[in-house]
Amino acid sequence: MDTSYPREERPPPKRGSPPAAPAPRDHLVWAIFNTLYMNFCCLGFVALAFAIKARDRKVSGDVEAARHFSSKARCYNALATAGSVVLPLLLGALIVTGVIHLSKLAQDSVGFFTYQFSGSDDEDQ
Taking a C-beta distance cutoff of 8 angstroms, is the pair 54, 30 a contact?
no
Length reported for the chain: 125
| pLDDT value at residue 4 | 64
Q: What would the mean pLDDT of 83-111 be, rounded to a whole number? A: 89
Taking a C-beta distance cutoff of 8 angstroms, is the pair 33, 20 a contact?
no
- How far apart, in whole angstroms, are the C-alpha atoms of residue 47 and residue 27? 9
Q: What would the mean pLDDT of 97-114 be, rounded to a whole number? A: 84
| pLDDT value at residue 17 | 54
pTM exceeds 0.75 = no
Within 4-62, where are the H helices?
28-36, 43-60
Give the rounded percent of residues in the chain with a pLDDT score beyond 90: 49
| pLDDT value at residue 13 | 58
Band (63; pLDDT cuts 50, 70, 90): very high
| pLDDT value at residue 14 | 61
Residues 9-52 pLDDT 10s = 666 556 655 556 788 888 999 999 999 987 878 899 999 999 99
| pLDDT value at residue 95 | 96
Amino acid at residue number 106:
A
| pLDDT value at residue 106 | 85
Q: What would the mean pLDDT of 116-121 be, rounded to a whole number? A: 60
Taking a C-beta distance cutoff of 8 angstroms, is the pair 35, 52 a contact?
no
The CA angle 78-55-27, to the nearest 5 degrees, is 25
CA pseudo-torsion sign 45, 50, 51, 55: positive
| pLDDT value at residue 76 | 95
